[in-house]
Each structure stands twice: as C-alpha cells, then as structure tokens.
Amino acid sequence: MTETVAARVSAQPFFATLTDTQRAALAEDGITEEFAAGERVFGEGGIADRFWLIEGGSIALDLRVPGRGDRVIETLGPGTMLGWSWLHPPYRWHFGAVARVATTAIAFDAASVRRRCDADPAFGYALLRLFTPLITERLQATRLRLLDLYAAPSQVGQASTEPADA
Amino acid sequence: MTSQGAVTPALAEPAAAVPRFYRVASRREDTGDTVTLELTEPAIGVPAFAPGQFAMLTALGIGEVPISVSGLGDNRGGQARRLQHTLRAVGAVTRALHAAPPGSLIGVRGPFGTGWDVESAAGRDVVIVAGGIGLAPLRPVVLTALADRSRYGRIVLLVGARTPGDLLYTDELERWRRDGVEVAVTVDRADSGWGGEVGLVTALIKPAGLAPGNSVAFVCGPDIMMRFTADALAGEGIPVHRIRVSLERNMRCGAAWCGHCQLGPLLVCRDGPVVGYDRAAALMSVREL
C-alpha cells in the first residue's frame, strides 16, 4: 500500500515542488482513506491528527450554527488539500468536514509529519511552502466573499449609482 | 458638440442619439430582483447588436440606463427586430424597467460599444466565467458557440452566484449541459437545499482542466471578481490578450461624447465594454475620481 501511496503522492501536482526524497518520506505517513457520501470526516473542535489530499469526490467544510444546522462554508474537490489545523497548536479543527459524495483521499498522519519537519528543517520548510500559498489563496477567496460582490447595492447598504430621479 | 468642430460618428447615427421604441413582448422573472425582457415590434428598429454590446434603455419619464444584450435576438435585415435584456432592479430606472409589463413601451438606443468577438475563438476552447448578473452579457457567447458548435472546441462555463436563489437561467444551464457545455456552478452562500459547490468562482478554474494554449476566455461580473478571475486564468497560462473582460462604468451618452465613462485612455461606451485584459489590467486598479 505504501508503494501505491508513494506513486499517487508523486502523481499529485500539489506535491510537485517536493524532491523525490521528500515525497517518498511524506508517502510513508500516508494511507488511503475512503468516505461514503454523507460521512463525517472530522467535527469542529476535534483533534486535528490528520490531513488529506482529496483524490476523488468532494468534501464540504461546515460550521454548526445554533438553530440553523450545519452551514457549508466551502467545498473542496479533487487535487486539493483538506486540513491545516494540524500545523499549529492546539491541533484542533476549527470547522467540520463531511463527504458530499463518495470520496477517496490520501490521509497523512499529522504527528508523524510534524516529527519529520522537526527532524529535517529542509523538509519542514518545503512542506510549509506547499501549504502557505494554499492558505493565502483561501484567505483571499474568503476576503472577496466577505465583500459580497454580487449583492445589489441595497443589500449591502449602499446607494445605487443609478439616478434617483430623471 | 459643434464647438469642437466634429460630430462623433456614433452620434451621427440617429439610432445612437434618439431612442427607438420597442414593445415588451414577454417578461420572465429570473430571480427575485432580475427579469429578462423580450422587446419587439419597433416602428423603426435600431441596428443589430453583436454579443457583448449594450443598449441605453429608457423607462419613459424616469431615465435611461445601459444594459447589455442577453440574447441573440432577431437581426434580419441588419435590424434588431427582437432584443433580449436581462436586468436587475437596483435603482429608479431599472426598477421601472423591471416592472414593465408585456405590451408596454421601452426606448432603445444603440448598439453601443465593443462586442465579445466570439468568432475570434473559432478553433479554440471557449472559456466563459460569469459572476452574478455577469452571466447575462455572456449568455449570447454561449448561444453563439452552441449555434455553430463544430467551429469551437470545448465550451466551459464557470458560474458564481451569491446564493442558489440568485442563479440566472437555471433551466438553460441544464439544457446547455445536455448540449455538451461543461457547466460548473458555485455559490458564495449555500442554503440547506444546495448540493453544489460553495466558494469563489475562481475555485472552479483549476478543476476545469483548461488547455490554456488553445483557449479564449470571456469574463463578466463585478470588477474585482473579473480582476481575480483574469489573474487566475492568466496564472493557468491563458495569454492576457485572449482574456476579455466587460467593463462597466458610468455610461450616459453611449456615443463617446459626454465623457462620463472615461477610464484612463478609454471611453468605455466606445472602446469597451469588452476589452482585452492586456489593456484592462492596469486600468481596473485605477481609483475612480
């Protein structure tokens, strides 16, 4: 299985900037994980002991809002990484994640990967350089969504630029 | 005008300066605040529109607003005999147009501005990215490509909307899917009944697996959405001159005369609204005066 995971890690564009050795090391901490449609991957506040590279399917990040159920914040598809709360203490998930359809992923053992990062700073730096653009990209997307770009002016408390009267 | 010694060619055209009156043949409510009006039966019509061009629509006694065409229309004899406009009620004029019942009269001036030039994508993949009501001016791009399907490669349509209820043309999106258009939709805010994607429209670009060397991109939506989308498309490798955006500024005369829509060296009503991102990129971050 480790060989299979190694091949799959090597085939993923997300890991393209890692060296062969670094990819092989990362693959040693990876296993295949499958989720049925509707199956919860992790819950808000749970221990962030893994992260996943989604190979097929789709995952919804959600947040439980009292009285309004689980609200989907973002969906993630194949080729994208799920989870970064494992990178920093307190190593707990800030959101939940649920499989929207049958989903296949490579799951990585977070504690083991952190140990490798501590033992090999070059590996740790390379991994951080993988995750930083991902985090930046999602932060930018979130900021843009905060602007509520598609809202009508009245929906965001602005006056229309149209003349009020002719 | 005469003091400057010349009449601009656009104003010399009567249809550019004087509204022609069309009758509302049908009114379809697309969302809670957006309708598509079909305009027909002009006594004297305006010239035919190309996809991407816009008209100045008059709500009688209230005012005039620029609205892009959202359909291919009926252009027999070079005249626009039938026009489609999708508009959202956001101000006095669009509220009046939004409420216009079948049978009522609406003034039309135009056509104005540059078009999408869909023809130039012949032999290539057509990549269309729409945000919000930006899908309306892009609908003719989809229809043009589908009408002559063999001339184009893949047709990829990526749509972002505020909520599922704000999605335009939902019935047509399904039909286009069946016709081979690769449609992907995402919303900023999902409701409990939404089973689709949630996130920014740019998140749809990478999964689309574009062939950047052989694609022409057409992008329409709020300025910031277009900027981030065009940057993401360029990041995928699509040359910036093959990424087109539709700029929206304060168009008034439509004929490059009044200057209200000036954006740097461009008068958007004449030099736009459709502009290559190679020209538009620097202008889109200019702070408005």
Mean pLDDT, chain A, integer: 90
Q: Which residues of B touch A133 (CB under 8 A)?
A: none
Sketch the domain layout of chain A as residue ranges: 31-148
pLDDT at A158: 57
| C-alpha to C-alpha distance for A70 and A64, rounded to whole angstroms | 4
Q: Does A64 touch chain B (CB under 8 A)?
A: no
Nearest chain B residue to A70 by CA: give it. B192
pLDDT at B21: 95
- Closest to B116 in 3D by CA, of B89, B170, B152, B169: B152
pLDDT at B288: 63
pLDDT at B4: 40
Task: Tell which wins on pLDDT, A161 or A141.
Answer: A141
Using an 8 Å Cβ cutoff, are B269 and B258 in contact? no
Residues of chain B with pLDDT under 50: 1-11
Q: Which positions 73-92 of A are in contact with B (Cβ < 8 Å)? A: 73-75, 77-79
| C-alpha to C-alpha distance for B144 and B138, rounded to whole angstroms | 10
The pLDDT tens digits of the residues spanning B74-124 come to 888 888 999 999 999 999 999 999 999 999 999 999 999 999 999 999 999
Nearest chain A residue to B159 by CA: give it. A150
Bridge partners, B24 (sequence order) = B39
Task: Return the CATH number of the domain spanning residue range A31-148.
Answer: 2.60.120.10
Residue type, B104: S
The pLDDT tens digits of the residues spanning A62-90 come to 998 888 888 999 999 999 999 999 999 99
Instruction: Look up the ipTM and state it.
Output: 0.85
pLDDT at A63: 93
Q: Does B219 touch chain A (CB under 8 A)?
A: no
Domains in chain B (CATH in brackets) are: 2-112 (2.40.30.10), 118-283 (3.40.50.80)
Nearest chain A residue to B34 by CA: give it. A152
The pLDDT tens digits of the residues spanning A124-151 come to 999 999 999 999 999 999 999 998 989 8
| C-alpha to C-alpha distance for B59 and B266, rounded to whole angstroms | 28
pLDDT at B289: 52
Determine, for residues A145 and B188 on separate chains, whether the beta-carbon distance falls below 8 Å.
yes
| C-alpha to C-alpha distance for A23 and B80, rounded to whole angstroms | 61
pLDDT at B242: 97
Q: Does B194 touch chain A (CB under 8 A)?
A: yes
